């Protein structure tokens, strides 16, 4: 219980740091960009609400001291008031964001789970057949693929499978002519559009899981309980899965939970390259349109997603691993 | 000791491949003029030319030579990788090792600080900062990457330093009454040199990828000559859709090769530092390796 409370404290602390970054970053910039920015927007943004959102972010014209502005900002954030989006005016920021989350969870969420499952499987096999074919090909190859910029892999996929071979669509989350409905044709269309970005992500993220799993597994395979299982004459695949892999996967589970949190903001450039209407694409749109209220809300959303995932992982660890409950 | 480390590296094909690649890039960065005749920014040729003997990779949408841009672009990427990579490794080493050595209250504080920085999503944060800065040049990129990128390696170095804490030479230093700063910098850090190199390689790899990504989405300086900026212009020029593939393929492949060189070297260092991970070798090779590593005493 104390462990979970401590982790909840960490959750709140990090959340506070993220909100504070959001508050101070625009105020810290050299050469007071706020004034220039406001002058620029006065021509473009006509509504008083939007102008007010900007004033809150840059802290001009409020007539308040810095601490008072800060207190005001904290109050706004914790009541879920992120101001009005400048670009998607007059929608409030929270409404604009909701639509994007759906797309990102579908694409990146599923891909992350697949990458973890496949990568871990290959890692187990590579370590089990040490020096075998899988072990001599997979790790060096995956070291290289994990160093390739994943957006570039996406671009090459667009070139090869989208433009040259014309096998798959490569722009957007669905066909423009389609209307969202639970029909087979619509679901098939969404699936088709997700295939190329998902493959590009899969190829570049699978390597980390394989390598860490292989290395953990190599260490566990040298443990006495594995030797004992072998000496008992258990079937090889049982030794591999129930004795070695089961223990080797433990450190990776926290990493997996963290990466589930990173799903929301983790594939920004893939969404950008494929014009996929998710959170990352929206963040870059907000940056390009200088839509600061939307940008701040998305950054906070991405951070909160990570924090929630970590907190859940901590609670799960506390339940499944008795050692953490007793230590300190 | 140093000679044996070199020999262990030279025996690893991964390290050899990574080192040769990196050396080639360093030569390109120092002497770009030896390899490319053209000025990378001069817009003096026909636009969007295909590959030819005069323009090995064709020209850009502004009539610049793609090959010359790729060659001259090496310098900026390596600058970012080495300066930001070294600086964040230094921060990581000081914070991680200090946390392990001081223990107790200060360990708690430093560890909490590291964890908070570690958990805040790095790339979105970089985007937000770059969006406020506008057209961030090399200096700004290096500063931002340095101060956001140290946390992962700080954690690794801390856990490695923890295993040193009970060693005799540290107890001796404590008995001599040395100050903490002295013990950390003079006694502990030198014994961790191979781990520090591995940490540097990880940081450098991520700095290359993050810097190029930021430039790709137009958050760098669009007039600088670098691989990320080349990709940005290729995307703006719709190079893929209009058939000028090389404008997008060349800079991306260059980033991938440089990244691979850092990743391969890092993997080799992991294998040398952790004998359990080394590839299985048989017979005479194993005996030879054992003798070699016996002398290395890692």
Mean pLDDT of all residues in A158-183:
75
- Using pLDDT thresholds of 50, 70 and 90, give the confidence band for residue B168: confident
Q: What is the pLDDT of residues B261-286, one digit of tens each?
A: 998 888 888 777 666 666 655 445 55
Residue A99: other Cβ atoms inside 10 A: 14
Decide: helix, strand or coil at residue A280: helix
Does residue B48 contact residue B58 with C-beta atoms inside 8 Å?
Answer: yes
Q: What is the pLDDT of residues B97-117, one digit of tens each?
A: 888 888 788 888 888 888 888
User: Is the dihedral angle over the CA atoms B40, B46, B48, B51 positive or is it negative?
Assistant: negative
Judged against a pLDDT cut of 90, whether residue B91 lies above it is answered with yes
Judged against a pLDDT cut of 80, whether residue A254 lies above it is answered with no
Q: A144 vs B260: CB contact, 8 Å cut-off? A: yes
Judged against a pLDDT cut of 60, whether residue B191 lies above it is answered with yes
CB distance from A238 to chain B under 8 Å?
Answer: no
| Number of helical (H) and strand (E) elements in chain A, helices listed first | 18, 0
Which residue pairs, CB below 8 angstroms and at least 24 apart, start in A64-67? A66/A27
Which DSSP helix (H) or strand (E) runs through A167? none
Mean pLDDT of all residues in A296-309:
86
The percentage of residues in chain B with a pLDDT greater than 90, rounded to a whole number, is 12
Contacts with B262 from chain A: Cβ below 8 Å: 147
**What is the rounded CA–CA span in Å between residue A175 and residue A233?**
57
pTM for this entry:
0.83
**Residue A99: HSE in the Cβ half-sphere, 13 Å Cα cutoff:** 13
Q: What is the pLDDT of residues A223-232, one digit of tens each?
A: 888 888 888 8
Q: B255 vs A149: CB contact, 8 Å cut-off? A: yes
ipTM: 0.81
Out of B132, B205, B262, whose CB is closest to A29? B132
pLDDT of B92 reads: 92
Interface test with B, best of A36, A144, A162, A312 (most B CBs within 10 A): A144
> Of the given ranges (A12-16, A71-75, B264-268), which has the lowest mean pLDDT?
A71-75
Judged against a pLDDT cut of 90, whether residue B4 lies above it is answered with no
Residue whose C-alpha is closest to residue B77's, from B199, B198, B231: B231
Does residue A301 contact residue A103 with C-beta atoms inside 8 Å?
Answer: no
- Using pLDDT thresholds of 50, 70 and 90, give the confidence band for residue B85: very high
Q: Which two tokens stand for residue B298?
A: 């890692």
Mean pLDDT of all residues in A132-157:
83
Contacts with A159 from chain B: Cβ below 8 Å: 240, 245, 248
In this predicted model, which residue has the larger pLDDT, A22 or A49? A22
CB distance from A127 to chain B under 8 Å?
Answer: no
Q: B120 vs A303: CB contact, 8 Å cut-off? A: yes
CB distance from A26 to chain B under 8 Å?
Answer: yes
Judged against a pLDDT cut of 90, whether residue B78 lies above it is answered with yes
User: Is the dihedral angle over the CA atoms A304, A307, A308, A309 positive or is it negative?
Assistant: positive
CB distance from A222 to chain B under 8 Å?
Answer: yes
Alpha helices for A79-132 (secondary structure H):
93-104, 110-128
User: In whole numbers, what is the pLDDT of chain A averaged over residues?
Assistant: 78
Tell me how close the Cα of B286 comes to any Cα of chain A, in angstroms.
13
Q: What is the pLDDT of residues A284-294, one digit of tens each?
A: 888 887 777 78
Decide: helix, strand or coil at residue A92: strand
Q: For residue A74, count CB atoms less than 10 angstroms from its CB and return exposed for 0-12, middle for 13-18, buried for 19 or more.
A: middle
Tell me how close the Cα of B171 comes to any Cα of chain A, in angstroms.
25
Q: A143 vs B263: CB contact, 8 Å cut-off? A: yes
Residue whose C-alpha is closest to residue B48's, from B207, B220, B245, B283: B245
- Using pLDDT thresholds of 50, 70 and 90, give the confidence band for residue A88: low
What is the chain A residue with the closest CA to B109?
A: A10
Interface test with A, best of B12, B16, B119, B210 (most A CBs within 10 A): B119
Q: What is the pLDDT of residues A27-51, one digit of tens each?
A: 766 555 555 566 666 655 556 666 6
**What is the rounded CA–CA span in Å between residue A142 and residue A147?**
9
Q: Torsions phi, psi of A83, nearest 5?
A: 85, -170
Question: HEC states along B39-74?
Answer: CCCCCCCCCCCCCCCCCCCCECCCCCEHHHHHHHHH
Tell me how close the Cα of B253 comes to any Cα of chain A, in angstroms.
8
The percentage of residues in chain A with a pLDDT greater than 70, rounded to a whole number, is 79
What is the chain B residue with the closest CA to A127?
A: B277
Q: What is the pLDDT of residues B25-57, one digit of tens each?
A: 998 888 877 777 777 777 777 677 667 766 667
């Amino acid at each position: 219980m104390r462990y979970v409370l401590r982790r909840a404290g960490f959750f709140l602390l990090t959340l506070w740091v993220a909100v504070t970054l959001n508050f101070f970053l625009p105020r810290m910039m050299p050469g007071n960009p706020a004034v220039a920015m406001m002058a620029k927007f006065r021509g473009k943004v006509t509504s008083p609400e939007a102008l007010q959102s900007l004033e809150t972010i840059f802290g001009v014209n409020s007539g308040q001291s810095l601490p008072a502005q800060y207190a005001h900002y904290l109050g706004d954030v914790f009541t879920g008031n992120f101001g009005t989006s400048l670009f998607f005016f007059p929608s409030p920021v929270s409404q604009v964001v909701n639509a994007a989350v759906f797309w990102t969870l579908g694409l990146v969420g599923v891909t992350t789970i697949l990458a973890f499952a496949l990568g871990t499987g290959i890692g187990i096999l590579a370590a089990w057949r040490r020096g075998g074919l899988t072990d001599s090909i997979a790790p060096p190859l995956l070291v290289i693929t994990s160093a390739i910029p994943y957006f570039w892999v996406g671009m090459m996929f667009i070139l090869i499978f989208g433009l040259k071979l014309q096998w798959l669509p490569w722009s957007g989350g669905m066909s423009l002519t389609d209307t969202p409905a639970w029909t087979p044709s619509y679901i098939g269309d969404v699936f088709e559009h997700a295939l190329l970005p998902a493959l590009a992500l899969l190829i570049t993220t699978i390597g980390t899981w394989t390598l860490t799993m292989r290395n953990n597994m190599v260490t566990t395979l040298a443990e006495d309980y594995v030797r004992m299982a072998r000496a008992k004459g258990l079937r090889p695949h049982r030794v591999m899965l129930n004795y070695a892999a089961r223990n080797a996967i433990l450190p990776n589970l926290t990493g997996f939970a963290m990466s589930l949190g990173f799903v929301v903001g983790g594939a920004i450039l893939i969404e950008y390259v494929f014009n996929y209407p998710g959170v990352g694409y929206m963040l870059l749109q907000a940056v390009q349109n200088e839509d600061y209220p939307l940008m701040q809300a998305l950054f906070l959303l991405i951070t909160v997603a990570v924090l929630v995932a970590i907190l859940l992982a901590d609670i799960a660890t506390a339940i499944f691993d008795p050692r953490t409950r007793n230590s300190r | 000791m140093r000679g044996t480390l070199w020999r262990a590296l030279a025996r690893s094909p991964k390290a050899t491949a990574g080192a040769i690649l990196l050396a080639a890039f360093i030569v390109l960065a120092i002497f770009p003029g030896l390899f490319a005749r053209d000025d990378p920014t001069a817009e003096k040729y026909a636009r969007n030319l295909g590959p030819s003997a005069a323009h090995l990779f064709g020209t850009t949408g502004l009539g610049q030579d793609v090959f010359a841009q790729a060659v001259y672009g090496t310098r900026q990427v390596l600058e970012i990788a080495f300066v930001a990579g070294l600086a964040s490794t230094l921060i990581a080493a000081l914070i991680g090792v200090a946390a392990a050595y001081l223990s107790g209250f200060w360990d708690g504080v430093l560890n909490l600080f590291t964890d908070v920085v570690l958990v805040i999503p790095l790339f979105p944060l970089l985007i937000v900062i770059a969006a406020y800065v506008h057209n961030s040049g090399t200096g700004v990129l290096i500063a931002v990457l340095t101060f956001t990128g140290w946390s992962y390696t700080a954690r690794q170095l801390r856990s490695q330093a923890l295993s040193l804490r009970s060693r005799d030479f540290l107890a001796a230093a404590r008995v001599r009454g040395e100050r903490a700063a002295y013990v950390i910098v003079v006694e502990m850090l030198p014994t961790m040199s191979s781990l520090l190199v591995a940490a540097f390689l990880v940081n450098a790899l991520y700095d290359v990828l993050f810097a190029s990504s930021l430039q790709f989405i137009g958050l760098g300086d669009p007039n600088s000559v670098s691989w990320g900026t080349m990709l940005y212009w290729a995307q703006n020029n719709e190079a893929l859709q209009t058939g000028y593939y090389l404008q997008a393929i060349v800079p991306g492949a260059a980033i991938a090769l440089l990244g691979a060189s850092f990743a391969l070297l890092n993997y080799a260092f992991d294998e040398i530092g952790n004998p359990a991970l080394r590839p299985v070798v048989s017979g005479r090779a194993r005996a030879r390796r054992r003798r070699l590593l016996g002398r290395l005493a890692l």
